[in-house]
Amino acid sequence: KILEIDPNYLSYDEKGSIYFFSGKADSAIKYMLKEDEVDPDNPWTNLMLGQIYVYYRNEVIKALPYFQKALASGGDLEPEINIVISETFFLIGDNVKAEKYLKNAIFLRPECSLIGEYGHFLFTQGKYSEALNFLDSICMVNDCGQKCIISKYYLYLTEGDFEKAEHYYNSAVDAGYKQIEEYKVLYYWNLYKYDNLYLACLFNETGRRNEALRILKEYIEVHEDFLKENKDWPFLFQLSIIKLRLATAYAIMYEKDKALKYLAELEKTVYFEFPCSIKTFPAFNKFRDDPEFKAILKSIEKKRAAIRAQVRRMEEKGEINM
């Protein structure tokens, strides 16, 4: 409606941002490139161009030059830019670079959510002692008590120490933590939060299967309804999170065929290890020796390794230096 009244009212980056969040990648790229011509040293323009290629198209190779331009234009001092770059490297399994940029973000803005994210980064790789030492040390010098307690709950559950996981879950509840409620519509913001999968897994592993199934039934319904109602959803990154959630939910329920169905679909989109990792989350332990499960995981990792190899070639040619 704004464009009908005055086609020139909005700037290029405003138009690009609207198209970005409206799911129209081609138009978003068009206007952000025009903005880049006008203001080539704007780190946020280059950040969004990179995000379009990552979130919409899973084209990390095309995104990285834009991220490098964002860093070179002052974005290295912006926590949000470091976070996005960290998540991009985490997406392709380059944990060294992912850790580098996440640590940069924490240095620039040592807030509780980032501390929890770093703990998640470590324990999803199976680095439980390192994650615990980090949480213990950082929680002694800041006000992130509740976040640290919750992170320990996630950590111990992932490690398979359900007694300690329950202890920290109860401590978190006593400290005011409220389990995230699921909504009938999934919104952008709540796709990236921890959710009821951890609690369902805890209940299932500690003899409260009926409680776990009650959580999972509604959980699956909400997520599968979203997929049915949004068959052309353009954000591959978000689809990855939803499908990993569903695969994990079905794994907790011991429904192997449905769990593997959603895991196989991650090969077609992307695989972002959130809210958990296939390699370490307890619900998948029962599938570790299953040939189909192993083949899916191998295929996913092969694709990620191929992207990392492309990144190394770009670095060797001097095309990027990140």
Domains in the chain, start-ordered, CATH in brackets? 110-178 (1.25.40.10), 180-287 (no CATH)
Task: Quote the Cα angle for 199-204-206, to 5°.
Answer: 95
Instruction: Give residue for tokens 């790229």.
Output: 29
Residue 253 CA to its chain's centroid (Å):
23
What is residue 121's predicted lDDT score, i.e. its pLDDT?
93
Instruction: Give residue for tokens 């609207």.
Output: 18
Q: What are the φ/ψ torsions at residue 290 (nearest 5 degrees)?
A: -75, 125
CB 121 within 8 A of CB 106: no
Residue 4 clears pLDDT 90, i.e. is over it = no
Neighbours of 2 (CB within 10 A): 11
62-71 as b/e, with b when 16 or more CB fall inside 10 Å?
A: ebbbbbbbbb
Q: Which two tokens stand for residue 57?
A: 């198209």
Banded pLDDT at 183 (limits 50, 70, 90): very low
Whole-angstrom distance, CA of residue 307 vs CA of residue 130: 27
Enter the pTM of the model: 0.89
212-228 as b/e, with b when 16 or more CB fall inside 10 Å?
A: beebbeebbebbeebbe
Whole-angstrom distance, CA of residue 83 vs CA of residue 123: 18
What is residue 189's predicted lDDT score, i.e. its pLDDT?
44
CB 267 within 8 A of CB 300: yes
Whole-angstrom distance, CA of residue 219 vs CA of residue 74: 41
Tell me the per-residue pLDDT of 255-307, one tens digit each, with 9 for 90 and over: 999 999 999 998 877 778 888 899 999 999 999 999 999 999 999 999 999 99
Residue 23 CA to its chain's centroid (Å):
19
- Of 278, 271, 270, whose CA–CA distance to 294 is shortest? 278
Residue 271 CA to its chain's centroid (Å):
9
What is residue 288's predicted lDDT score, i.e. its pLDDT?
95
Tell me the per-residue pLDDT of 26-84, one tens digit each, with 9 for 90 and over: 999 999 999 999 999 999 999 999 999 999 988 999 999 999 999 999 999 999 999 99
Question: Which of 6-10, 65-69, 70-74, 241-245 is least confident?
Answer: 6-10
Whole-angstrom distance, CA of residue 120 vs CA of residue 122: 5
Residue 248 clears pLDDT 90, i.e. is over it = yes
The SS3 assignment for 194 reads: coil
Percent of the chain with pLDDT over 70: 93
DSSP for residue 73:
T
Give whole-number Cα distances, 37 to 48, 81, 171, in Å. Answer: 14, 20, 53
Question: Which of 153-162, 185-194, 200-209 is least confident?
Answer: 185-194
